[in-house]
Amino acid sequence: MYRSVVAVALGSALLLTACSSGEGADGAGDTELTISEVSFGAVPPKDDVIGQALKKELGLDVKLNAVGSSDDYYAQLSASLAGGDAPDLFQVDRSRLQQFVKQGLVLDLTKYLDTDLKQYTSFVGKDQMKAAILDGKTYGVVKRPQYAYSTYWIRKDWLDKLGLAVPKTTDDLFAVATAFTGKDPDGNGKPDTYGITGGKDADPWAPLWGGFGTGGPGAEYVEDGKIVNGYQDPDTKTALEYVAKLVNAKVVDPDFLSSTLAQAQERAMQGKAGILCQSWPQMTKPEFTASAKKAQPGAQWIQLPPLAGPAGPGAMPYDENFASIYAIPAKVGKDEAKLKNIMKFVEYISGEAGNRLVSYGIEGTHYTVADGKVKATPKLATDGGWFWLYQLTGRDEGEYLGIKFAAQKKYIDFAAKQPLMDTYQSLVVNPEGYNQVDADRYSNEQLVQFISGKKPLSQYDAFVSDLTNKFGYGKYVEGAQQQLTDLGLAK
């Protein structure tokens, strides 16, 4: 008897504390606005000048919760969403957004787009906003896409030394890679160089696919008004034959299957390879080039446009919808004041003054304005590395990069203006019954075997049919077709 009384008492005490602390959290801080996002290690400092400016301008206490890696971020997010204390604005990808929408955890913003979110709508544009549309409703704000950053980079000094022209076609590239491997471009008398290097965490062949008329394995793109899947496109097979030819000719750094892109770049900087697909920030920002110059003083890296191939001029596959989505939890719908505050914030950072704040910081400290043009002060480069965390709706990419990275302008423009081939896989939500992890593992394994010549490409069609039938990829392809057509991408 006594024991059961104690048990009941303890249990109800627990319930009581649960209720009271729940209420406390909801009532506290009407002006507080919490944002959660993946930051790749960037963290606003203690002296958060942007947060202070937002407080002054909007009267809002913006609290930024920046989580280092996306795995950790989504673990935290799903716990807090289920626990009922989700942040007011949280970053999410399209697949997870759909999941949360199904569970009723996300607020429908459709009716606010032309009223409370007018500024945002005109800043981001209807075309980009489709990334947050599911079943015709808008469930989040979208970040404006950034430019394409990656291209092939090649050692110009090696080309010159061997008397070769800058490669324009895939055949040229093969010849150059062969020469880089066999003709001792560094002149040290040792066969210690490779043509091409790359890592497993990025596609080393991306600039090649377009020339073969494909967006690459796994991509979704439009060809003649139809949605095409990269695995099922017969052009992919031709492209893989070419890649396998490169690998079998031993002109590719064999570590490309095991190392990361960062490690591959390190090897390239050591003079072990002459061609690499990498983004301009990695190749041209002074913190890299300084130490790279020390290692290979004569190295001169230049960018290559996508290579032309059998299918015509080259194009770099680029999925600009990869931009992030920020969603608002459904429970905020009941809290009118809070919702207004969130939308006020989104509107502000999408407007001229606000976007300038989150792009360039504080006028007079981080930038100056002359003739209506923003000019960065040296402080922007040293202190502004985390401002982008506040750019939830993005930025005017061209102006931003031009101002912040004036010295890299040439490389930025080159990568941004290269011929691009739009791909849309980030808009596709996995249909039910499709296990992406299994399918990815299988297809990656098989691709490695094809590329490394362990399996002849005559078996490629059998692989695609296995992938489609045994791994549920057929459902994905159908789903992609349907979803992308619904978004108006196919005729």
Partner 1 sequence: MVTLVRTRIKPRAGTRGTTRISSREDRIANGIVYLALIVVAVVCVFPLLFVVAASITPYGEVLRNGGYIVIPRSITFDAYRELLSDPAIPRALSVTVFITVVGTALNMLLTTLMAYPLSRKDLPGRSAVLLIALFTTVFGAGMIPTYLIVKATGLLDTVWAMIVPGAVSVFNVLIMKTFFEGIPEELVDAARIDGAGELRILLQVLLPLSVPVMLTLGLFYGVSHWNEFFQAILYVRDQDLLPLQVVVRNLLARSQATENADAVLPLVTVQMAAVVVAAIPMIAVYPFVQKHFQKGVLLGSVKG
Looking only at Cα atoms, what is the longest distance across the chain?
96
Quick one: 89 or 117, whose CB is closer to partner 1? 89
Determine the interface stretch with partner 1 among 41-49, 225-233, 346-354, 438-446 (rule: CB under 8 A).
41-49
Q: In this chain, which of 1, 5, 18, 28 binds partner 1, going by CB under 8 A?
A: 18
Quick one: 411 or 460, whose CB is closer to partner 1? 411
| Residue 296 in the binding site for partner 1 (CB under 8 A) | yes
Determine the interface stretch with partner 1 among 224-232, 281-289, 348-356, 440-448 (rule: CB under 8 A).
281-289
Residues 6+ apart with CB under 8 A from 221: 215, 227, 228, 230, 317, 421, 422, 423, 424
Q: In this chain, which of 61, 65, 257, 434 binds partner 1, going by CB under 8 A?
A: 65
Taking CB under 8 A as the criterion, which residues in 346-405 touch partner 1?
384-388, 401, 404-405
Quick one: 94 or 237, whose CB is closer to partner 1? 94
Q: In this chain, which of 58, 89, 269, 327 binds partner 1, going by CB under 8 A?
A: 269
Taking the complex as a whole, the smallest distance from the CB of residue 165 to partner 1 amounts, in Å, to 28
DSSP per residue over 26-82, as a string? HHS-TTEEEEEEE-TT----SS-HHHHHHHHHH--EEEEEEESSHHHHHHHHHHHHH
Taking CB under 8 A as the criterion, which residues in 77-116 touch partner 1?
78-80, 82-83, 85
Quick one: 70 or 232, whose CB is closer to partner 1? 70
Total of residues contacting partner 1 (CB under 8 A): 59
| Residue 420 in the binding site for partner 1 (CB under 8 A) | no
Q: Is 111 helix (H, G, I), strand (E, B) or coil?
A: helix
List b or e across 59-90, with b for residues whose CB sees 16 or more CB atoms inside 10 angstroms. Answer: ebebbbbbbeeeeebbeebeebbeeeebbbbb
What type of residue sits at position 104?
G
Taking the complex as a whole, the smallest distance from the CB of residue 442 to partner 1 amounts, in Å, to 24
Give the phi and the psi of residue 35 in degrees, each rounded to 5: -130, 135
How far is Cα 221 from Cα 223, in angstroms, rounded to an integer?
7
Q: Which of 88, 87, 91 is closest to 79 using CA atoms?
A: 87
Enter the DSSP assignment of 92. E
Taking the complex as a whole, the smallest distance from the CB of residue 85 to partner 1 amounts, in Å, to 6
Taking CB under 8 A as the criterion, which residues in 135-164 touch partner 1?
146, 149-150
Q: In this chain, which of 98, 99, 178, 282 binds partner 1, going by CB under 8 A?
A: 282
Q: In this chain, which of 42, 49, 113, 162 binds partner 1, going by CB under 8 A?
A: 42
Q: Which of 278, 273, 297 is closest to 181 using CA atoms?
A: 273
| Residue 416 in the binding site for partner 1 (CB under 8 A) | no
What type of residue sits at position 37?
E
β-bridge pairing 89-92 and 32-38? parallel
∠227-231-234 over CA atoms, to 5°?
85
Tokens 């709508």 belong to which residue? 121
* Per-residue CA distances from 166 to 160, 163, 175, 197, 324 (Å): 9, 10, 11, 18, 36
Helix (H) or strand (E) holding 346: helix 336-350
Quick one: 228 or 421, whose CB is closer to partner 1? 421
Q: Which of 240, 216, 242 is closest to 228 using CA atoms?
A: 216
Q: In this chain, which of 33, 39, 134, 425 binds partner 1, going by CB under 8 A?
A: 39
Taking the complex as a whole, the smallest distance from the CB of residue 420 to partner 1 amounts, in Å, to 14
Q: In this chain, which of 6, 13, 262, 353 binds partner 1, going by CB under 8 A?
A: 262
Helix (H) or strand (E) holding 212: helix 206-212
Quick one: 86 or 421, whose CB is closer to partner 1? 86
Extract the tokens encoding 321.
């919808």
Taking the complex as a whole, the smallest distance from the CB of residue 107 to partner 1 amounts, in Å, to 21
Quick one: 397 or 466, whose CB is closer to partner 1? 397
Name the site residues for partner 1 (rule: CB under 8 A).
14, 17-18, 21-22, 36, 39-43, 46, 63, 65-69, 72, 75-76, 78-80, 82-83, 85, 146, 149-150, 201-202, 260-262, 266, 269-272, 278-279, 281-282, 287-288, 291-292, 294-296, 384-388, 401, 404-405
